[in-house]
Amino acid sequence: MLIVEDQDQMRRALREFLQTALPGKLIHEARDGRSALALCNQHKPNVVLLDIGLPDTNGIDLIGKIKSIRADTAVIIVSSQNSSAHMQRARAAGACAYVTKDAVTDQLLPAVQAALDLLNTDHLAGNSH
């Protein structure tokens, strides 16, 4: 799993939240698009939590690049942007879920679990992408 978030405090909070909820899950972190792509190339994460407002790129524009590294990566946008236009663009780019930062405690874990369940189902069925 990879968390891509430029705000250190938010990135730490996401990591701690996920480590508590998913003990034993390996979690990598990146603060910008460049490091995110490097980590995706190196570790091929199955789930990427991705902020939109990164210092070097727009997170939505990064989705296609992440999926070109591993097509079945589940990308979940985690952003303070809550406009329907952002949500639609993210979905169109290939995000499987969109969670606003103010709803993380309620919505993030179900979104991550749904992504993991879908990936496990696809792999068990032999539908790896």
Could you tell me which residue, 126 or 9, shows the higher pLDDT? 9
- Is the pLDDT at 84 greater than 80? The verdict is yes
CB 50 within 8 A of CB 78: yes
The pLDDT of residue 128 is: 44
Please list, residue by residue across 40-73, b when 16 or more beta carbons sit within 10 angstroms of its beta carbon and e when fewer do: beeeebbbbbbbbebeebebbebbeebbebbeeb
| Segment 23-50, tens digit of pLDDT | 999 999 999 999 999 999 999 999 999 9
pTM for the predicted model, two decimal places: 0.92
The pLDDT of residue 122 is: 61
